[in-house]
Amino acid sequence: MTMDDPALVKAIRSGDAQATRLLVERFHGIVFGLCYRMLCHRQDAEDVTQETFLRAIRAIFGFDPERPIRPWLLEIAANRCRTTLAVRARRPRLAPVSEASGHPDRKAGVSDPDDLGAELAAAIDRLRPEYRMVFLLYHEHDLAYDEIARSLKRPVGTIKIWLHRARAELAEDLTRRGIGR
């Protein structure tokens, strides 16, 4: 079954379970991808992805069906990721088992320094959460500045500054690690 966004919203509002499944199937990969990149933890990303769809389905009657669904879902996911990161930051941190046992954590660095994709992913993961979120929404999810600003509830100017700083930090990180010389 193929439906454009307005038809999909209308079908979900009418209680069509197949339309709800279609929404999840169509956007699951995009939402999960953002959550995983933001949270760097598979289980947390799965939980936030599920919560995103639950919230979206509950809020579908307040959604403007003339708007595209994708940015709206990414907005919900970004907000849930920010909340998860904030809760995580308030928890006391435990030392990883490898540090506690005196053995180095072999996963801490990238295994193949010639793997540019892995180096870039690692550098993105080291960005501040708000810079990482803006970078991913802009470059991986192709959202416009105003869509990102709306989803993060920040002025467009702030989004542009964060994106600029994210790019600068990535370039500095990669240069420091000897990548891209």
- Across the chain, which has 181 residues, the per-10-residue mean pLDDT values are 88 94 95 92 93 95 92 92 83 51 42 66 88 90 89 90 92 82 54
**Taken in order 84, 85, 91, 97, is the CA torsion positive or negative?**
positive
Rg (Cα) of the chain, in Å, rounded? Answer: 19
d(CA 163, CA 145): 10
Helix 5-13 crosses helix 69-90 at what angle (to 10 degrees)? 70
Collect all residues with Cβ–Cβ distance below 8 Å to 124 and sequence separation of at least 6. Answer: 37, 132, 135, 136, 170
The pLDDT value given to residue 53: 96
CA angle 8, 12, 14 (to 5 degrees): 120
d(CA 39, CA 125): 9
DSSP secondary structure code for residue 169 in this structure: H
Residue count (the chain) = 181
In the chain, list all ranges with CATH 1.10.1740.10: 1-91
Domain 113-181 has CATH 3.30.420.40: no
Helix 145-152 crosses helix 129-139 at what angle (to 10 degrees)? 140
In the chain, list all ranges with CATH 1.10.10.10: 113-181
Token pair 């949270």 is at which residue?
A: 39
- For residues 179 and 72, the answer to whether their CB atoms sit within 8 Å is no
- For residues 86 and 48, the answer to whether their CB atoms sit within 8 Å is no
Amino acid at 55: R
The fold of 1-91 is Rna Polymerase Sigma Factor; Chain: A (1.10.1740)
The pLDDT value given to residue 90: 75
